[in-house]
Structure 1
Amino acid sequence: MGQEPSETEPSESEPAATTEAGGEQAGDEASAQSKLDEEGDAAADYLEELLDIADLDGDIDIEVKGGRVYVSISSEEGTSSLESLVGQDSATLEALQELTRLAVLSSTGQRSRFVLDIDGHRARRADALKVIVGAAIASVKADGESVALKPMSAYERKMVHDLIAEADLVSDSEGEGPQRHVVVHASED
């Protein structure tokens, strides 16, 4: 009789451990979501203050997808008051994104990989990059010669590398700082 309780205890504790582990996983996911929400709120607060200081009107939207925070600022239809925040070759947008990341780090104590978009610029740029990369892919496939693309941001290089990989070609980044660019090569099969 003394053995019966000890035999039943492990089976009773196993479901509790499973439930506990499931609870820990749900807790981890909730904690991760909470951190992303905190990042988004800190970024939005910083950007709202910046818009107020610059006397610019814009609506701020926050979206969390794929473990990353996406913050977009949009102007009212028909106005282009936010174009100055994009700048030539997206330089101002990239700088603003980095400043906002620093503000999020200062506010939350955690590094952020959030992405900032202004008036749909990133979507338009992604479409343009698809055309540029398509031409480079066609050229490499036609003559086997590598093609170097113009310098671009890390975010854009990542998109380009993904597009090239989908075409079964190879790419790498070369150069330093603002001259960092993608080179497309024929696959090494």
Structure 2
Amino acid sequence: MSDVTETTDTSQDFDVEDASLSKGSATDADSSAAPHSRLDDEGDVAADYIEELLDICDLDGDIDIEVTDGRAYISVNASGESNLRVLSRTETVAALQELTRLAVQTKTGEFSRLILDVGGSREQRQRELEKLVDGAIAGIEAGSMSAHLEPMSSYERKLVHDIVAERGFASESEGEGRDRHTVISRA
């Protein structure tokens, strides 16, 4: 069985790019005013969905819920002898995240921007993105005017923008839909 731990950080950092996707829903500022906010409810629904999935797959995991930066973060970590590796591939986590978002949207009637992490997959992806950015910056330092990265989710693009800024370079998102990607250049 899974254990669920819930933590809440009421700091709200709103992502304008994703804000247009949640038209008609309560604003993040409104949700932080209530003791049990929309994001807390979203996390609870997502945790229930993931817990059922783990039971079906006969996997044990501890589920942590955190609300921060205007999103619900759901982390599933191995408990005991659990083999969560079967669910922690980047593509699998992305698919599970979308299914979980759909389950939340079905239950709450509102668009969800929740982030799912399985067995530290987000931390691993962060390291992959750092290597990708470092390679692109090396190309720019070798004489390229800019570097176009592969298309990725808005959350991953935000991580890339943060990494690029830490490295003293500039970045912007270009393209539409599934082709939206980050372009890195000198600051």
What TM-score do you get using the length of structure 1 for normalisation? 0.71
Quote the residue 2:97 is aligned against: 97
Quote the residue 2:88 is aligned against: 86
Residues in 2 aligned to 1:36 and 1:63: alpha-carbon distance in whole angstroms: 9
Helix, strand or coil: the match of 1:112?
Answer: coil
Alignment of 1:39-50 (within 5 A): 39-50=42-53
- Which letter does structure 1 place at the counterpart of 2:140? V
Quote the residue 2:63 is aligned against: 60
Residues in 2 aligned to 1:153 and 1:127: alpha-carbon distance in whole angstroms: 16
Greater relative contact order structure (CA < 8 Å, 6+ sep): 2
Higher deviation after alignment, 95-104 or 170-179:
170-179
How far is the alpha carbon of 1:115 from its aligned partner?
Answer: 0.6
Quote the residue 2:25 is aligned against: none
How far is the alpha carbon of 1:62 from its aligned partner?
Answer: 0.6
After superposing on structure 2, the runs of 4+ consecutive aligned residues of structure 1 that deviate more than 6 Å are none
Q: Deviation digits for residues 47-71 of structure 1, max 9, x if unmatched? A: 1111111222111111112222110
Q: Which has the higher helix share?
A: 1
Residues in 1 aligned to 2:118 and 2:30: alpha-carbon distance in whole angstroms: 34
Quote the residue 2:117 is aligned against: 117
- Identity, in percent, stands at 53
Quote the residue 2:147 is aligned against: 147
How far is the alpha carbon of 1:156 from its aligned partner?
Answer: 1.6
Q: Deviation digits for residues 129-170 of structure 1, max 9, x if unmatched? A: 223212322331342432233443332222112222343433
Q: Are 2:77 and 1:74 equivalent residues in the alignment? A: yes
Residues in 1 aligned to 2:129 and 2:175: alpha-carbon distance in whole angstroms: 19
Residues in 1 aligned to 2:122 and 2:74: alpha-carbon distance in whole angstroms: 11
How far is the alpha carbon of 1:186 from its aligned partner?
Answer: 2.6
Residues in 2 aligned to 1:174 and 1:44: alpha-carbon distance in whole angstroms: 34
Q: Report if aligned partners of 1:69, 1:113 keep a CA contact under 8 Å in 2.
A: yes
Q: Which has the higher strand share?
A: 2
Sort the Cα spacing of 1:92 and 1:147 in 2 relative to 1 into closer, same or farther, 3 A.
same
Residues in 2 aligned to 1:174 and 1:31: alpha-carbon distance in whole angstroms: 37
